[in-house]
Amino acid sequence: MENGYGGASLAKIAEAADVSSATLFKRFPTKAALFEAIVTEYWAFAGHEGVEPESGDPRKGLVTIGRDYVELLSQPQMVSLFRLVIAEAPRFPELARAHFALGKALYFENVRVYLREEDAIGTLRIPDPQSATTQFLGMVANFAFWPRLLLPSWSPSNGH
């Protein structure tokens, strides 16, 4: 995170992690493999199981999803990870693809499925679950996450 993807080396990462280079290279033969593992860990809901919203009560379900998304995006290193991906995407597009595919796309799909199910049981009328998902998650992230990229002390709970 400190040196960016291009400025990081597996040898220096091994040294900072206090493991041998051989150990790190055995587990992650390339920097791309290590980055993919980092992205996977941040998005895999490790320590963040994700809450299954209750069917039949869309207000409660959407509040649950929104709070869950805020909790996920508020994990300590999430802003650093996004900054790294955004900064390095032009030179390393595979990083952006991995970041999106392993995280955002999976979370997006879960929400889309929930909205489609609510539509199917008749508690919501959602002709375009994809657009509704994009708008809902975008609305949440716009308030709870994106300001943190520019304003390090910003928090949705401190009245900003």
Question: Could you tell me the residue ranges of all domains in the chain?
Answer: 32-150
50 pLDDT above the threshold of 70: no
124 pLDDT above the threshold of 60: yes
Tokens of 78: 């999430």
Q: What is the average pLDDT across 91-116?
A: 85
Kindly report the average pLDDT of the chain as a whole number.
Answer: 85
* pLDDT at residue 37, rounded to an integer: 81
SS3 content of the chain, % helix, strand, coil (to 5): 70, 0, 30
pLDDT digits (tens, 9 = 90+) for 53-84: 889 999 999 999 998 888 888 877 888 888 88
Homologous superfamily of the 32-150 domain (CATH): Tetracycline Repressor, domain 2 (1.10.357.10)
* pLDDT at residue 93, rounded to an integer: 85
Whole-Å CA distances, 109 to 100, 132, 157? 12, 12, 28
- For residue 31, give every residue at least 6 positions away whose Cβ sits within 8 Å of its Cβ, in sequence order, or none: 5, 8, 9, 10
Q: In whole angstroms, what is the distance from residue 4 CA to residue 139 CA? A: 29
Tokens of 100: 């999106």
